[in-house]
Amino acid sequence: AGTGVKLTVSLGPEAATVSVPNLVGMDADEACKTITSLGLKCRKVKRRIPTIANNVVFKQEPQSGTLLYRGNIVTIMVNSLE
Distance of CA 32 to CAs 11, 24, 57, Å? 30, 12, 10
Closest CA to 76 of 33, 14, 34, 23: 23
Above 80 in pLDDT, residue 76? yes
Q: What is the mean pLDDT of the chain?
A: 91
Above 70 in pLDDT, residue 13? no
Q: What pLDDT shows up at residue 14?
A: 61
pLDDT in tens, 20-57: 999 999 999 999 999 999 999 999 999 999 999 999 99
d(CA 47, CA 53): 12
